[in-house]
Amino acid sequence: MHARVWQLHLRSGKVQDFQDTLSSVVELARQQGGYRGVFALASGKSESPEVTLVALWESLLAIRASENNLFLTQAISRFLACCEGLPHITEQEVLASDFIGTSARAKA
């Protein structure tokens, strides 16, 4: 399993917009082969937090396929509306994980 890790800084007052955008991106991601889920972590000021998104993918090939069919480009363009600057995106191999099936949406 591999992860695409995003580092974003939300604009002041854009937390709800970010959550709405993330929901729309998740709908697109679920149409991609090999997508396994995402979680978002926030730190810093609650009105303009630093956010780390970790999107899990079955393989590096699945990540590459999402780049080739423009999913990644669409996702970046949607997040630009609520974020300062461009997101920093890296890919990492998942060495270990233990998740219980759950879905959560944080309250703003």
pTM: 0.84
Place 108 in a pLDDT band, splitting at 50, 70 and 90.
very low
Each residue's pLDDT tens digit, 94-103: 999 887 765 5
Please tell us whether the domain made up of 2-93 is placed in CATH 3.30.70.100. yes
What is the distance between the alpha carbons of residues 44 and 70, in angstroms, rounded to a whole number? 31
Q: Please, what is the average pLDDT of the chain?
A: 90
Compute the Cα dihedral for 90, 93, 95, 100 and give only its sign: positive
Each residue's pLDDT tens digit, 50-62: 999 999 999 999 9
pLDDT score recorded for residue 107: 46
